[in-house]
């Protein structure tokens, strides 16, 4: 942990190195926690992590330093999660569950398409602790604790042409997240999904490698996807969950009172981030549409999309031993 304080002073490049401070220095240094986020100050993820810092400081009430690397300066979420699992370079971050699949096969189920009916359904699942078995698997297999559940943005397709039903999106070349369940569900709908790094989506659409992708409103605005794909197809196929993650190697190295502060702050910050993201979601699209930057397309076939994906989701839940979790979610 203290090694990270030393490295942070050398900048992002040095942070990725393997230099270690002498034991006497580590023992005397003020604790420093290093975070990472793909976005800038305006994005709800960044606001959530800033709130996390504020709450840790308030709860711990002792000297502590934070370094939050923004705008993908330490890479992308997939790298953040790998760093946290290894216990180096990044101590905390918000990460899509899709990027946890190489460590815990059940993780992407948290955020799969058509798992949640709407935001209140997602909130109920989170607050009832139904996701705890999946979080336990992530912690056991990856060494990363999910200390809170942010998210709440409704995800829609955005495309370089206006499409309004399942027949029209047949064979659509669409970027999806890396977890296999995303490719399976989109294939079941009839699209042609492909995995592309998030920071390459804009150029991929611009160069006609793909014609569409999917995201919540905050991401569409932050990454300016509307410039190359101004048609927002209101599929509402997912409600995002974005856990605030914390490295267990770091957590175990902290004093008990700081551990308690981190865990409590994680929940509070995630609750705050969820509120910011969910409330701002439709407002962002309305503002961008009013400014002539995008057009929302009413999608006629959401129910049909879900019907086509239901067998895939049921099979996936069985495959990852999450059938009981899936039943509990559907029962709410």
Q: Hey, CA dihedral for 202, 203, 207, 213, is it positive or negative? A: negative
The pTM is what? 0.84
81-88 long-range contacts (CB < 8 A, ≥24 apart) are 81/142, 81/144, 81/245, 83/36, 83/247, 84/142, 84/143, 84/144, 84/245, 84/246, 84/247, 84/250, 85/142, 85/143, 85/144, 85/247, 86/249, 87/143, 87/247, 87/248, 87/249, 87/250, 88/4, 88/18
pLDDT averaged over every residue in the chain: 91
| pLDDT for 35 | 98
| pLDDT for 18 | 36
pLDDT digits (tens, 9 = 90+) for 1-52: 444 443 344 344 434 443 333 333 334 489 999 999 999 999 999 999 999 9
Domain ranges of the chain: 31-331
| pLDDT for 11 | 43
- Pick out the chain residues at pLDDT < 70: 1-28
| pLDDT for 1 | 45
| pLDDT for 178 | 87
pLDDT digits (tens, 9 = 90+) for 210-243: 999 999 999 999 999 999 999 999 999 999 999 9
How far, in Å, CA of 12 to CA of 166, rounded?
45
Query: Which CATH number does 31-331 carry?
Result: 3.40.190.170
Nearest by Cα to 13 from 89, 77, 86, 83 = 89
């Amino acid at each position: 942990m203290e090694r990270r304080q030393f490295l942070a002073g050398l900048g992002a490049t040095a942070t990725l190195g393997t230099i270690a401070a002498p034991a006497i220095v580590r023992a005397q240094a003020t604790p420093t926690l290093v975070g990472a986020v793909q976005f800038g100050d305006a994005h709800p993820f960044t606001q959530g992590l800033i709130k996390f810092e504020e709450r840790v400081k308030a709860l711990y009430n002792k000297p502590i330093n934070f370094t939050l690397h923004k705008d993908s300066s330490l890479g992308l979420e997939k790298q953040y999660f790998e760093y946290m699992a290894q216990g180096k370079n990044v101590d905390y971050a918000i990460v899509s569950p899709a990027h946890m699949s190489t460590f815990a096969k059940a993780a992407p189920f948290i955020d799969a398409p058509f798992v949640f009916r709407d935001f209140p359904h997602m909130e109920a699942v989170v607050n009832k602790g139904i996701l705890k078995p999946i979080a336990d698997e992530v912690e056991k297999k990856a060494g990363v604790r999910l200390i809170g559940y942010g998210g709440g943005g409704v995800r829609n397709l955005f495309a370089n042409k206006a499409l309004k039903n399942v027949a029209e999106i047949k064979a659509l070349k669409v970027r999806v997240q890396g977890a296999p369940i995303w490719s399976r569900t989109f294939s079941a709908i009839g699209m042609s999904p492909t995995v592309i790094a998030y920071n390459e989506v804009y150029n991929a659409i611009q160069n006609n490698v793909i014609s569409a992708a999917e995201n919540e409103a905050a991401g569409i605005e932050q990454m300016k996807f509307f410039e190359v794909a101004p048609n927002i197809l209101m599929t509402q196929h997912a409600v995002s969950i974005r856990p605030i993650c914390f490295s267990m190697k770091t957590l175990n190295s902290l004093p008990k009172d700081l551990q308690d502060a981190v865990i409590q702050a994680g929940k509070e910050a995630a609750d705050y981030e969820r509120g910011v993201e969910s409330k701002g979601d439709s407002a962002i699209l309305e503002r961008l549409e009013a400014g002539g930057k995008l057009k929302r397309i009413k999608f006629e076939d959401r129910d049909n999309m879900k019907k086509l994906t239901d067998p895939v989701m049921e099979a996936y839940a069985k495959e990852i031993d999450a059938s009981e979790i899936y039943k509990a979610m559907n029962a709410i």
